[in-house]
Structure formats: structure tokens, C-alpha cells
Amino acid sequence: MSGAAPMRRPVALITGASAGIGAEFARVFAQHGHCVVLVARRERRLHELADQIAAAGQPRPHVLAVDLCCNGVSKQIAAELDALGVEPQYVVNNAGFGLLGAAAELEPAEQLAIIELNVRVLTELSLAFIDSLGRHRGGILNVGSVASFLPGPGMAVYYASKAFVLSFSESLHQELSAQGIRVTAVCPGVVPTEFQARAGMKKMPGWKLLHTQPADIAAAGYAALMQGQRVMIPGVANKFVTFLPRILPRGFLLRQVARSQFNRHKSASSP
């Protein structure tokens, strides 16, 4: 009679780990003694980050150069983890992007790609490793946004995708708690990373108060996950912004967000 299969070594799986918040999550998890698996398309960047983490005295992370939007990505990742003899204790769904501009004017395929990565891939990876998350009493950390709480004319698909992330994460937080699995949505404001360049944004002075450094977001998100917190909003100004929908008319918010996004788009379009 064969015994139960041995428990595999636990890891923290981090998507979008090649830069920005994802790279900082990798550093934070490694600093707290977790074995880390870095997932993104840019293999060279991942190896550079793995080298930096190893040079700081932490175990060198595993690198998985994967296109997250390919079909069956969770099965591909699971097979690679199985070959390494590891399984997820934590899943950090950080990969995502947005585009600035009116929905009717942006390329439909690019907007559907936002939904593919921000919604479908995040959902797939959140659900793919429930068994191992439960075995290791781990959790899921999903990166939402202040946009999760607001209407988003000017970035309509991105804001809608982040509203999904918040709602889905809160529901999983409730559903999985009985299995000892923690689920946290971390919802930062404007972050000075490659995201802004890809979205077609330029820095605007009026948004400076909502800026939070990637390292601070990663530290706050990690702490919130370990404490079993449902939602973490880094920064006092960001907390205030997410409170506004409770007290202001929806139409007023729509007009203000539209005006703000239009100004950002005009700034990004100017030479």
C-alpha cells in the first residue's frame, strides 16, 4: 500500500515580476524567507532580478519566462513547477496593464488584451492552485487599484478590469477562509513604473499626492496578506479617494474622472 504523496516545497509565485511592483514583491517575499518563482515574458530581466536577490543573501528565485496570455497558462506553469519539485503557497497576481484614451477611439484588440490579462489570467491563476495553497495555509495577493473603486471614462476598460479584481478578491477572501487560505487585494494609486509609459501617460503634478513607491506598495501588500486583511489601500490620499464614491454623486464622479483623464491624455499627446 503506497503512502500519500510527499508535500512539495512551497513557493511564492509572482507574475509581472520583471519590473515595478512585481520586482518589489519578489524582493519582499525573498527577504521574508520565501522561495520565489518569477514569472514574466522578459527572461533576461527575470534572471537579472534573480541574481540581485541572490546577491543580497536570499535563495536565488526560479525563473519562468512565460507569456501569461497563452491558452492553458496555468497548466504550463503547473508543469514547470512540478518539474522543479515545488508548488505554490502564495500566488501574487501582479501582471496587468491599461491604456489611456476614449474606449471608442482605442484599438478594440488592445482593449480586449487588457481584459485577457487583468481579468481572465488573474482569475485562472487565482483558482489553479487552491489545493496547494490550502495545504500550505497560504494565500492569494491580487493587485487592484484605486481605480477599482471609481468609474473610469478615459480608461474605461482598465478601470472596469480593476473593479473586477476587487470584487473577485473580496469574494474569494470570504469563500476560501474556511480552508485557511488568505486572499488580499492591494489597491495602490498612481505608481511611477513602466505601467505609465505603456498606458500612454505622462507625469502630472496634480497626481503627485497619489503616488506610492513600488517598494512601499509591496511591503504593505505583503503585510496585509500575512495578516489576512481583505483589502489594503496604501497611502492616506489614496484611502481618501476610495472613500469619495460613498459620499459624492456618481454623475459628479464621472465628470471629474473624465476631465482628469482628458487632461492626462492631452498632456501625453503633446510634444
Which sequence positions are flagged as catalytic?
158
Distance of CA 242 to the CA centre of its chain: 18
Contact 102, 111 (CB under 8 A): no
Query: Residue 193's closest CA among 94, 115, 75?
Result: 94
- Residue 110: HSE in the Cβ half-sphere, 13 Å Cα cutoff: 16
Distance in angstroms (rounded) separating the CA atoms of residues 229 and 117: 24
What is the DSSP secondary structure assignment for residue 107, as one 8-state letter?
A: -
Contact 95, 102 (CB under 8 A): no
Cα-Cα-Cα-Cα dihedral sign, residues 132, 134, 136, 139: positive
Strand partners, 39: 15, 64
Distance in angstroms (rounded) separating the CA atoms of residues 117 and 21: 16
Contact residues for 185 (Cβ-Cβ < 8 A; gap 6+): 142, 143, 144, 148, 165, 166, 169, 170, 173, 230, 231, 232
Distance in angstroms (rounded) separating the CA atoms of residues 13 and 64: 10
Q: Which three cell numbers stand for residue 46?
A: 527575470
In degrees rounded to 5, what are phi and psi of residue 38?
A: -95, 130
Query: Residue 210's closest CA among 118, 151, 145, 163?
Result: 145
